[in-house]
Structure 1
Amino acid sequence: MRAVRSSLHDEVAERLRTLIFDGELAPGSFIDEPALCASLAISRTPLREALKVLAAEGLVRHEPRRGSFVNQVTAQDLDQIFPMLALLEGRAAFEAAQQASDAELQALQELHARLQRHARARRITDYYAANVAIHEAIIALADNPWLAMVIGDLRKLAKLARLQQLQAPGRLEQSCAEHLALFAALQARDAPAAQAAMHEHLVRQREALREVARSQANRIAP
């Protein structure tokens, strides 16, 4: 019985993550537990267990006597998160360059070919999906579960910002070039170069997000 309950609240937690990342549960919004229970056809127990999981991940917060809310990520949060991501994903790239097999690098090459096709066609959504798949593949190739766990938590928090760095002028082409430089270092099994390329890639992501945020603020300002 315990395994069944655990499986259910894990499923509910994943459903809530999807609602949050898709914007159906907006940053700062109140989480209406009775409405969610009705829409997901579940009882309060698995929902509350799922909310505890998301609170531990930093995606939601619980306020006594008020309930649960979707967390909001500020510019200051991103300024603190991205340097850590750059260091940690840089380390993942370093370890991936040392450990990846030829077959694994071939699979990664196919992902980069897909990335290039989407960049040339300016298919932003498809490019973003391929970009995420590449990051996840490199983290997996590092074969370091502790590193993967911390990176995964930080990436979830960064995703809360719901800002699309590829909207910045010239960022799509720049991002693709950064990925190709990173892959060249991985192919050469040059661990320090792979680490440096991944670090630079994430630093530039943060810079692009700042540019997008400034652009959005300027559009809103009277």
Structure 2
Amino acid sequence: MNASRIAPIALYQEVAERLRQRIFSHELPPGTWVDEQALAEHYGISRTPLREALKVLASEGLVTLKPRRGCYVTEISERDLDEVFSVMSLLEGECARASARKASESDLTRLRAIHAELEKAAAATDIDGFFEANQAFHVALQQIADNRWLLQVIADLRKVIKLSRHHSLFSEGRLEQSLVEHREILQALLARDGERAEERMRTHILSGRAALARIAGAKLPASTGA
């Protein structure tokens, strides 16, 4: 065997990725029972790699395994979203704080360029374009923060958030509000004000949660803070 040769992606990993995308697109919506036999036949594989793939998705919280009964796509509750967004606000806030300290001039130039795409998409009411630029901005901050543990946990939590049936940017006025929040985050980063960047990012994440709650018609618990 050639030790320098890169092994191909294991079959179960490819199956896991295909199922992951079907879950994220809601082709397999939350609560759907996974028909192992039908999927195995659809992909032309045995149940062994399929079950290994489902174990991977279960570890990510995307499916829930039931011993001797199979599994179903995880249903995320309003309480789940409250708790996940609360943790996300802390983690992404830390990324913003660290980025304000670590960012090079080229990093800041990149953030300005991404923000320009946000402004452009908002002006055109291009929700898809805004979402992509928004994701790019957050990923850039995570890369600048350069903490692989933060990146890993944030990535896992974002997978869970994708189980939500709604998208915060479809809440009336949310796109404009998000743009203002991004402007404030960028200003804090350019000023290298870590505390302000963290505070603005946490507000931004929690505003996204509030927008989802409005869409779902759910009421958030009354705030106990100032």
TM-score by length of 2: 0.89
Rounded to whole Å, the distance in 2 between the matches of 1:143 and 1:39 is 40
Post-superposition offset of 1:4: 4.8
- Residue 162 of structure 1 is matched in structure 2 by 165
Q: 1:122 aligns with which of 125, 128, 140?
A: 125
- Residue 48 of structure 1 is matched in structure 2 by 51
For the aligned residues, what is the CA RMSD?
1.7
Rounded to whole Å, the distance in 2 between the matches of 1:204 and 1:137 is 20
Rounded to whole Å, the distance in 2 between the matches of 1:53 and 1:29 is 17
Q: In structure 1, what residue type is equivalent to 2:172? A: P
Q: Deviations over 1:143-171 (max 9, x none)?
A: 00111111111111111113111111111
Q: Does 1:181 align with 2:184?
A: yes
TM-score by length of 1: 0.91
- Residue 14 of structure 1 is matched in structure 2 by 17
Q: 1:30 aligns with which of 33, 36, 55?
A: 33
Rounded to whole Å, the distance in 1 between the matches of 2:41 and 2:110 is 42
Q: 1:101 aligns with which of 86, 99, 104?
A: 104
Rounded to whole Å, the distance in 1 between the matches of 2:178 and 2:56 is 33
Rounded to whole Å, the distance in 2 between the matches of 1:160 and 1:82 is 13
Post-superposition offset of 1:77: 0.6
Post-superposition offset of 1:35: 2.1
- Residue 196 of structure 2 is matched in structure 1 by 193
Rounded to whole Å, the distance in 2 between the matches of 1:196 and 1:105 is 19
Q: Which consecutive segments of 4 or more residues in structure 1 shift more than 6 A?
A: none
Post-superposition offset of 1:11: 2.2
Kept in 2: contact 1:5–1:46 (CA 8 A): no
Number of equivalences:
214
Rounded to whole Å, the distance in 2 between the matches of 1:181 and 1:154 is 24
Structure 2: gaps spanning 5 or more residues? 219-226
